[in-house]
Amino acid sequence: MIPLPLLETAQRPMRVMALRALGYCHRLFYLEEVERIHVANLEVLEGRELHATHFPVDEEGPTTTLELASERLGLVGRADCLQRHDGSLIPYELKRGRPYYNDQNQPMPWPGDRLQVIAYALLLEEVTGQPVPEARIRYHGANVTVRIPIDEAARADFQTALDLAHRLQQLPHRPPVADNPKLCEKCSLAPVCLPEEVRLQQNDDHQPLRLFPPEPHGTTLHVLTPGATVGVSGDAFVVRQPDGQEQRHPIHTVDAILLHGFSHLTVHALRKCAEQAIVVHWLTASGFHLASLTPHAGQVQRRIRQYQALSDNATRLRLAQSLTRAKIENQYRYLLRASRQDEELRQQIHDHLQALFALAQQVPHTDSADSLRGLEGTAAVHYFQALRLLLAPHVPEVFRTHNRNRRPPLDRFNALLSYGYGLLHTAVMRAVLAVGLEPAFGFFHTPRSAAYPLVLDLMELFRLILWDIPLIGSLNRNYWHPDADFQVTPLKVWLSVQGRRKAIELFEQRLQEHWKHPVLQYSLSYARTIELEVRLLEKEWSGEPGLFAQLRLR
C-alpha cells in the first residue's frame, strides 16, 4: 500500500463560519471545514435571504459589510454588518432564530454564535488596528439584540476554540456524533453525518429517528430524442425538439439531466448545471454510461481515506463478503416470495432455491475474492435459470430466454435486462459522486473495462430490487410490445425510442417507491436508498462500520 497522509488542513485559512459549527458540534465542524461538505437546506436558504434583505441595526446610522482576513489568526470571513457607535466599529451577526434565556430570563447567545461574532471582532481589530469593545448578535426570531463584550474572557474562549479547531483538523477520522441528539434534528448535514444510524450501530435497542431525507430534492430530466437540445430561458431549462416543440422545466425542480444518444446541452445550460450543482450524465442510445459532470470541490480527503481503506486486502474481503451475501440472500428471498402461492412453480425452482441457500452460507467462510466470485457466479446461474420460470404462461415466447447474454444482447429479455442495468449504473454513479467517493476504487470488481469498479460493486445490491422485480412484473402484465418496443437484427436486439421511454418510466417509478429499511426501520424511496447505502459504505472506513449491505427483501 502506498502511504498517503491526509492533506495538511491547518495551513489553510479557516472560515469564521467554521467556529460557529465548532460551537454547535465538533463533528459538524469536521465535516464542513476538513471534508468541505456543505448542504443548503431550507433553513440555510432562509438565512441567506435574511442576510440579503435585513441589517441588524438598533439605532440609525450607516452600515457596511467587510471582508476580513488575518494571516496571524489564520481566519477569513465576511462580517454581516459593521456599524459605528461612540467612535468604535461594532460587528453585527444576523441570525434568523432565537437566543436562549438564562435563569433571569435574559437573552443569551448560543455558543457557536458567540464564537463567530468574537472572531469577527478580533479580525476587525487586526485589520483596523483599533480596539473593538463589543460585538452584537441580532436574533430576528425574537426581535432582540444580544451584546457580547470583547473582554479577556472572550479572547480566552476564542483562543481555546481556535486551538481545539486545529486539533480536530488533524484527526484521521470524523469525531463522534453529538451526545445531544436534539442537535442533530435541525442540522443541515444530518443526511451526510447519519448520526441516528451511528447510534443504532452502537446500540441495537436504539430507535432511530429518520433524519435522512425520504426522497430526492428534485427530479431527473431524461432527454432521449436524437437532436433534442437542452437550453436555458429565465429560470427554466427548455428542451427543444427537432420539430420545434419545446418543454420547460423549472431549474429548481431538477437535480440531474440524463442525455441519451445524440441529444445536446448548450454551453449556457452546462454552466447553469455547474452553478446549481445539477449532475449531468451522457449515455449512449443503448444505455451505456459515457461521462458525467458533477462538482468535485472538497472531496480530496474522502477519496484519500477511501484509497487507504481499499488498499487493505482484509477490508476489501470483508466488504466483498457482505456484498455477496446480501446479493445471494436477496435472490433466494425473491424466488421464495415469488413462488409462495404456486406450489408447482416452487417445485420447479426447488433445486435452485436449495443451491442459493447453500451458497449464501458459504460466503462468510471464503478466504479470497476469487472464491467469492466463484460463489457469486454459481449463484447467478441458478438465479437466472429460476428467474425465467417466473414469467406467466401468457407471456409471448419472444420474451423468454434460456441464458443470460449481453455485449450485445441477443433477445428481447436480455435487451431489457441490459438497458435497465444501464439506467441503474447511472443512478449508482450519481450517488457515488454525490457522496464524494472515487468510482474507480472498488473492492470486488476488477478494473478490466471502461466501467467503474465501485459502481459495479454497489450495483450488485440493487440489480434485483430496482430492475429484475419490476421487469418481471411488467412482462407478466403485458407492458411491452414485442415489435414496437424493440429493434431486432440477427446480431443484436435493442430497445426502440418508444421502448427506452417505457423502460425509463418503469425505472423512475421504481425509484420513487418507498420501502422500510429492515435494519434502520424507517421508510425512504429507493432513489434515496442508493445514496444511503453509499454513505453507509463510507462509514466502513470512517470508524463507524457495521451497517453496509444489510438491506434485505422481506
Q: DSSP secondary-structure letter at 395? A: S
**CA nearest to 498, candidates 419, 394, 552:** 419
**Greatest Cα pair distance in the chain:** 91
Architecture of domain 9-193: Alpha-Beta Complex (3.90)
CA dihedral 551, 538, 467, 492 (to 10 degrees): -150
Amino acid at 114: R
SS3 at position 149:
strand
Task: Give the percent of the chain with pLDDT over 70.
Answer: 92
pLDDT at residue 463 tops 90: yes
Amino acid at 375: L
Q: Cα separation of 201 and 293, whole Å?
A: 34
- CB neighbour class for 462 (10 Å; exposed up to 12, middle 13-18, buried from 19): buried
- The CA-based angle 250-251-256, given to 5 degrees, is 120
Q: Cα separation of 208 and 198, whole Å?
A: 9
**Which tens digit of pLDDT belongs to each residue from 177-197?**
988 888 888 888 888 888 888
Band (pLDDT 50/70/90 cuts) for residue 52 is very low
**CA nearest to 330, candidates 367, 368, 363:** 363
> By mean pLDDT, which of 156-170, 238-252, 281-295, 524-538 is the weakest?
281-295
**Which tens digit of pLDDT belongs to each residue from 107-155?**
999 888 999 999 999 998 888 888 999 999 999 888 899 999 999 999 9
pLDDT at residue 419 tops 50: yes
Q: Higher model confidence: residue 329 or residue 32? A: 329
**CA 338 to the chain's CA centroid:** 32
Q: Are strands 14-15 and 514-516 parallel, antiparallel or unpaired?
A: unpaired
Q: Cα separation of 327 and 331, whole Å?
A: 6
If DSSP states are collapsed to H, E and C, what string results for 285-338? CCCCEEEEECCCCCCHHHHHHHHHHHCCHHHHHHHHHHHHHHHHHHHHHHHHHH
Band (pLDDT 50/70/90 cuts) for residue 6 is very low
109: left (phi over 0), alpha (psi -120 to 50) or beta: beta
Average pLDDT over residues 234-247: 89
Q: Cα separation of 79 and 137, whole Å?
A: 11
- The CA-based angle 520-525-527, given to 5 degrees, is 110
- Given a contact cutoff of 8 angstroms between Cβ atoms, the answer to whether 451 and 438 are in contact is no
Band (pLDDT 50/70/90 cuts) for residue 471 is very high
Mean of per-residue pLDDT scores for the chain = 85
- Given a contact cutoff of 8 angstroms between Cβ atoms, the answer to whether 134 and 85 are in contact is no
Predicted local distance difference test score (pLDDT) of residue 314: 93
pTM: 0.81
